[in-house]
A and B are shown apart, each in its own frame.
Chain A
Amino acid sequence: MRSIGVEATLPIAIVGHIDHGKSTLIGRLLYDADSLPSCLMEEIKQGMKESGKPAEFAYIMDHLEEERMEKMTIDTAQSFFKTDKRHYAIIDTPGHVEFIKNMITGTSQAEAAILIVSALEGMEEQTKRHAYILGMLGLKQVILAINKMDLVNYSHDRFEELKCKVSSFLHSLEIKPNHAIPISARVGDNIAKAGGNMRWYNGPTIFEALDKLKTKEDSVLKPLRFPIQDTYILDQKKILVGRVVSGKAQRGNEVLILPSKAKTRIESIEVYQDTKDVAEAGESIGIVLKDELTLKRGEVICDLQHPSEIETKINANIFWMLPKPLQAESQLTIRCATAEECCHIERIEERIDSSTLEIIENDSNILRETEVGKVTISIDSPMVFEDFNETEELGRFVLTRSGEICAGGIINSPISL
């Protein structure tokens, strides 16, 4: 049994168009889950009593001053809350298009997302772009929340209309929302409690829908993948450090190392002041191999029976995040797990508007900020890749320039050697 406090936390991203109520929903979730500092809870309760109006949750959440770390203003938000079932960490994602890379950063850490759409304003540009990004990041658990129902008179028709519209857009991205829930974050309908104002709705509340989500699947049963992160020499022992991405590393097991294709055995598994017989997916460990091999960071230690693929060319969808556009043929660095190689974009087959999903141009030679490109990437030296659905960590990659990430992508199909 896990004791309280050590159970798994589910990171969720809350995404959607600006002013559709993300901050209000976050404030409301924290308030309803009784997860705000107690003095603040009191203040809010008192305020609501005095004014007879719901609290302005958006303000509880949105605050940040451009000051140095040591000079920051006090504020009160916490982004963790807890239901009867588990702990949640809310990942704050800004709704403005300028901050799309912050949104992507946040969402890439999430295991599920709530996509919030205002019943008043309907689907807007960032709604679609954020939905696209959820798809691009391979996020499969999505709750659709139609917010501000109080402002449309709790209209059932409006809810159905929007639900239908947004869902069909999500389907085109191969996202099937787990639930579509009509809410008023401001008033608190269908967040923790079923909304008395929407008798026509009998689905789950946000809390109930969250508790139905699944935590990350165990990848222990898959074949071993151990990307080498670094080599440390300690007492003449060469230790390959890294984190097991999938499967189990087991002392004595035969392994194949890719792309160098060397074959050897695991001599020992090292951790601080100890050794282990087995290390499972997720563990940061050190491996000592039987044979003295010259290996570099980025190579992947694989199960000998079920090795990975190595490629020098891949087809992928990438999302460009820099203000400076990508020019076809320009030199970049591709990083997948710990591997890093020079590459160039051989072809931009389609240039896609990430908010409408319309193809702007075929066979383009440019990709601008927030645009999606269906591209072919040619890599200078072979790298290990896998199907994203098989091993996420080896099916996704980033492109960098001067050490800074400028695009992220998921592999459509490796073009085998």
Chain B
Amino acid sequence: MFANKRTIIIGLDGVPYSLVKDLSARGIMPNMSRLIKDGIFRQMESSIPDISPVAWSSIITGNNPGEHGIYGFMDLVPGTYSLYFPNFTNLHGIPFWNYRNGRKSIIINVPSTYPAGQLNGILISGFVAPDLEKAVYPPSLVNELKRLNYHIDVDSEKGHQSMELFIDDLNRTLEARIETYRYLWDKEDWGLFMLVFTGTDRLEHFLWKAYEDNTHPYHNTFLKYFNTIDEAIGEIAWKTHPEDSLIILSDHGFERMKKTIYINYYLRKTGFLKLKKTPDTSYDDIDEETRAFALEPNRIYVNTATKYPRGSVKEKDKDVIIGDLTDAFNALEVEGEKVIKQVYRKEEIYTGPLLDRAPDLVLISNKGFDLKARLQAEMLTENTIFTGKHTQNDAFLVVKGSEGCYAPENPSVFDVFGILESLG
């Protein structure tokens, strides 16, 4: 064993296994290609739903949402229809960096770690983090980050204004993130270093099409971005010592989007959901006649009398409603194609003390269909500005340890915690 053995984790938000394989083979990600050959490279399952807050919370705690309690970007305050945004303080379970006694951990840009809490080391929260001052531990680091022009996240609103502005912001955010990692790498003596790049996910949302279509005006921009990420990975790999362990992973996959499907609209049309008013609807406008409603992106809740102020479904009728909902979703077709691949009941995918807060059903879509709850939707489907969407089964994992490293054949995001433990 080596006393100075360190662990380095690089996260690439939303980067699919298939893309890593492709770009490595094409020489766009040469460093990645080398690491894949030297270490273990696996396709990895994401959480359900396959979105960053849920997936990353699972990665850092090793828990499933029934234990860590993060089911999405937003949730309802128990007993109400009021939305709130769960953050790091709502996470149950202890992130792996708190288990490392003695040496410092440097944690940069892990999604859903806002506000930054105390740890032995440094933490800079990732998306969504409204206030840099609350996103940094120790607080005294804020000024240095400002000097480095650090941005927590790309301003995706720019993507709706002008692609040029968006890409500019994307690159600048990446540059500052790289500068920041370099600064912190040398500043401290650490045992664990974790750095997540989130621009990948943002780029894929807007420009997945540009990846697949080599005549797209932003095709090269897309490849260049991944090339820059690969350079950063190469630099980090070069800085590691022979005895260090390196993990590179993503939290979910991505694929081409065909259509966005608005679940709450479908629930309205099929009579499950009744709203007191439209437009400008909020969850507070859910009527008593409602039997089920959806929260972003694909979570379905039965409007039970025991849980909600205007809940009308009795416990004894719940199973029937769930059956009806399952039938309704299985029947959903758009342009002759079945939209829903799988309807999961919460008991099938979650376990733990917070199971009670889980959605009653979660949907997985067929290829190309992007599910969104969108309470305000006035149509079933839409072609949006986005050309890429998340996938649940195509995240990736690379492990390169110094001595006999371990990873399950078919890993999921819940296994990362254990792999880290095995690396020591």
Contacts and interface: CB of A to CB of B under 8 A. Distances in A.
Direct contact of A and B (CB under 8 A): yes
A65 B133 contact: yes
Interface stretch (A54-62, A177-185, A336-344): A54-62
A283 interface: no
A59 B140 contact: no
A64 B131 contact: yes
Given A56-B117, A59-B115, A18 B140 contact: yes
B132 A96 contact: no
Contacts of B118: 56
Query: Interface residues of B toward A: which range?
Result: 10 to 19
B134 A62 contact: yes
Contact of B131 (A18, A19, A65, A98): A65
A47 B117 CA distance: 12
B342 interface: no
Given A64-B131, A65-B131, A65-B132, A58 B89 contact: no
B80 interface: no
B306 interface: no
Given A96-B143, A98-B143, A62 B133 contact: yes
B138 A19 contact: yes
Interface in A349-402: none
Contacts of B134: 59, 62-63
A62 B117 contact: no
Contacts of A172: none
B418 interface: no
**Main SS class of interface, A:** loop
Interface string B118-136: 1000000000001111100
Contacts of A47: 89
A64 B143 contact: no
Contacts of A107: none
Contacts of A73: 130-131
A32 B101 CA distance: 31
Contacts of B115: 59
A62 B131 CA distance: 10
A93 B140 CA distance: 13
Contacts of A56: 117-118
Contacts of A65: 130-133
Given A63-B134, A65-B132, A73-B130, A19 B117 contact: no
A58 B139 contact: yes
Nearest to B118: A56
B140 A96 contact: yes
Nearest to B142: A62
Contacts of A64: 131, 133
B371 to A, nearest CB: 31
19 contacts: A18-B140, A19-B138, A19-B139, A19-B140, A23-B139, A47-B89, A56-B118, A59-B116, A62-B134, A62-B139, A63-B131, A64-B131, A65-B131, A65-B133, A73-B130, A95-B140, A96-B140, A96-B143, A98-B143
Closest 8 CB pairs of A and B: A65-B131, A18-B140, A63-B133, A19-B140, A63-B134, A62-B139, A64-B133, A73-B131
